[in-house]
């Protein structure tokens, strides 16, 4: 059996419960994909986005309705070794990957304040523009369950608000485009296990700045959240699931204030009514 077929088989056989079923559940529960959608899957070079690509391929084969997928990787200025690793993995996994160039790393290298924030915004803008060029109506990213939990805690601890990484959202600046996260329910430990089982090596961090220096502030904070959840899981094995589920079970009768579209509402507004 060709290697890419073994990789595909592992998703729907060995990892059917931990990856495939959770992927399909998120797609159905959050209504992420519709008939005749044209979806651009963004591959960064990491394990998550490559797994997403294979899951999308399997869904095309075994799904109940047709939809179109384009697999795209934006090269913001990766070094040659990292770029070759991405190409090799795409070939090994039989993914028809289009790589397009940008000069984001060169531009960001001239900025001293918040280069990571600027880089993230520019990456997102380039991907949305590429999706428009391809005529796509949706962009799929490889964020997983742990990303959702860590983002939620980061918002609480450092942003003083409760918000999470949504399974889908409409673009504010690119009309007609929607961002979806089909791996929303898939845990990172299972993605790591899948990669190891198939002897696959992916990019971890290919940023030009973190290659030469300590992790940036955002990554450091996220690592703190990851370690915190890991520590709490020793006392309560379901703590990460409980955090995830709590965002789908908000009791507004016990919340001091909420914001909708930027407009704040206090519990006092209805307290005596």
Report which of 167, 169, 178, 172 is spatially closest to residue 247, judged by C-alpha positions: 167
> Is the CATH number of domain 3-207 3.40.50.620?
yes
Residues 184-228: tens digit of each pLDDT: 999 999 999 999 999 999 988 656 555 444 456 667 899 999 999
In this prediction, residue 167 has a pLDDT band, given cuts at 50, 70 and 90, of very high
Q: Which residue has the higher pLDDT, 110 or 67?
A: 67
Looking at residue 216, what is its pLDDT?
61
Helices (H) and strands (E) in the chain, counts: 10, 8
Helical segments of the chain, H only? 3-12, 21-29, 47-62, 80-92, 104-108, 115-134, 145-159, 188-197, 217-235, 239-246
User: Domain boundaries in the chain?
Assistant: 3-207
Mean pLDDT of 119-127: 82
Residue 34: other Cβ atoms inside 10 A: 11
Coil vs helix vs strand at 137: coil
Give the pair of three-digit tokens for residue 25: 């559940």
On whether the CB atoms of residues 194 and 15 are closer than 8 A, the answer is yes
Give 228-247 pLDDT, tens digit per residue: 999 999 999 999 999 999 99
Tokens found for residue 109 = 């290298």
Average pLDDT, the chain: 91
The tens digit of pLDDT for each residue in 49-96 reads: 999 999 999 999 998 999 999 999 998 888 899 999 999 999 999 999
% of the chain at pLDDT higher than 90: 79
pTM of the model: 0.91
Lowest mean pLDDT of 1-10, 91-100, 162-171, 205-214, name the range: 205-214
89 vs 73, 144, 192, 196, CA distance in Å? Answer: 12, 20, 15, 14
Which pLDDT value is given to residue 115? Answer: 64
């Amino acid at each position: 059996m060709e290697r890419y077929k073994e990789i595909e088989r592992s998703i729907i056989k060995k990892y059917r419960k931990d990856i495939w079923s959770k992927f399909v559940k998120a797609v159905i529960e959050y209504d992420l994909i519709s008939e005749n959608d044209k979806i651009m899957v963004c591959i960064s070079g990491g394990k998550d986005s490559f797994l997403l690509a294979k899951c999308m391929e399997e869904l095309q084969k075994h799904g109940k309705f047709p939809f179109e997928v384009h697999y795209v990787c934006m090269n913001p200025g990766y070094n040659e070794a990292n770029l070759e690793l991405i190409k090799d993995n795409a070939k090994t996994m039989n993914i028809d990957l289009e790589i397009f160039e940008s000069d984001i790393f060169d531009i960001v290298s001239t900025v001293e304040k918040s280069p990571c924030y600027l880089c993230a915004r520019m990456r997102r803008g380039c991907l949305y523009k590429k999706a428009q060029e391809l005529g796509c109506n949706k962009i799929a990213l490889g964020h997983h369950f742990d990303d959702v939990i860590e983002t939620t805690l980061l918002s609480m601890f450092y942003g003083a608000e409760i918000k999470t990484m949504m399974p889908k959202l409409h673009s504010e600046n690119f009309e007609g485009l929607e961002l979806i996260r089909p791996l929303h329910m898939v845990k990172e430990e299972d993605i790591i296990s899948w990669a190891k089982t198939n002897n696959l090596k992916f990019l971890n961090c290919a940023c030009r700045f973190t290659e030469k220096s300590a992790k940036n502030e955002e990554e450091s904070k996220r690592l703190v959240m990851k370690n915190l959840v890991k520590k709490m899981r020793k006392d309560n094995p379901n703590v990460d699931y409980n955090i995830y589920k709590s965002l789908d079970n908000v009791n507004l009768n016990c919340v001091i204030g909420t914001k909708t579209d930027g407009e704040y509402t206090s519990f006092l507004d209805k307290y005596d009514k």
